Structure 1
Amino acid sequence: MNSPAPVSNIPRRPRLSQRLGRITLLAFLLWIVIDLVVPTKHDIRQFDARTVATIETAMWRSYYERKPVLLFWQLASGLRQQFHTRFWRSFRLGYQATKSAFIFKQGKTRADYQRALPELISYYESIHSLSTNSFDVHKVAALELDWWIIHRQRERYSYANLANALAATAAAQYNLPVAPFQTYARLRANAMRMRDDSVLKPGGTTEADWTVIEQALDQAWGALHEAVQPNRQ
């Protein structure tokens, strides 16, 4: 007969890697929950204008080249730069903004465009909850949609109309008079004109065009940053 195999008296070692994995996962989930749930407020007047201009240029390219996933990622990055949004919350806001932009893009009439308004309201409600600066959410969302429509319907409106709408939107968002935002609005509307005109050229918008557009946006956001500083009030 075969003798029974000896029983090992060596204790089993705890699976350290599994414990570390569980701890890491719990810490990761806790980070997400805190990021999404715990409120943090910042002064939305403080941002790096050049970085915002660079991100907006990239966002324009993604929008016009129909790249919603890339636009979503860029929007989230822009939100973290301009509004100091936390990492995971920036993706929730980015989703709201991307969804409203592509609902609008698919529209043909003003009634179609109005379908983007609920998402815009949700987006600005989220911005308002993060800001130490109060503003009328519904008013800002409606004005945002107005300038989108003015820009879309260029056969009916001028770039001067667009600049006025941009100035009104910024004034409402920062709860200030319109006058300080005229320079910002003119420069940003001019950047939009550059992009629109470049499409009509053979070959469309070139890298050189995008460089010039980014320079114009850099000046525009610099003007807005200057306009909202407390020492200018």
Structure 2
Amino acid sequence: MYFDSSFIILIPALIIAAWAQFKVSSTFEKYSKVGSSGGYTGAQVARILLDSYGLYDIPVELTPGRLSDHYDPTRRVMRLSEEVYYGNSVASIGVAAHETGHAIQHKERYAPLVIRNSIVPVANFGSNASWILFLLGMVFGLKGLVSIGILLFTAAVVFQIITLPVEFNASNRALKILESKGILYGSELGGAKSVLSAAAMTYVAAALTAVAQLLRLIFISRSDD
């Protein structure tokens, strides 16, 4: 049986990714049971924070799925999962504020967000086409295709790396706004921070996995020489 030794490069990143996913799920579950003293729902918090920054035209909508919350900069709409939209827990409020942070970044043209949005098409194409070109190049001995595949995957890696400051900044904004607006207090704020910190680790894990995968591609291409 053939064993791909290059897969060893991925193992540490995959372990971290699995741990990060478990951490975010368990932390969200824990703080979704802790109600906020203000009693606001995630949707209400998002609306309050958006309006406070003059973003009256950005609607807050429901979206299916768990932890599927996101801000869409193309359509300028915030979408919150049912648990966050209707929930008045510390976890729901933290997530809603985090997504509002992205909307504020968009308004202020936060540089890492602008860069990330500008490379989305290249990153999407790179992540989909890179392996196809890479494998075709390896099978038919076309080193040019191999190099193009690696280059395209590099674009996807850059996207994952530039995502990190975007996500960390959105969380920092969220916590500061929640505190300044008096929406969360003391331990409630600490709970929201725990939820957002756990969520941030999933992006760190994604970046590490992408880098490890890139190293694996380079290793495979050179081992064939």
Indicate the structure whose relative CO is greater, using CA pairs within 8 Å and at least 6 residues apart.
2
**When you count strand as a share of all residues, which structure comes out higher?**
2
Using the size of structure 2 for normalisation, the TM-score is 0.26
Greater C-alpha Rg: 1
Using the size of structure 1 for normalisation, the TM-score is 0.25
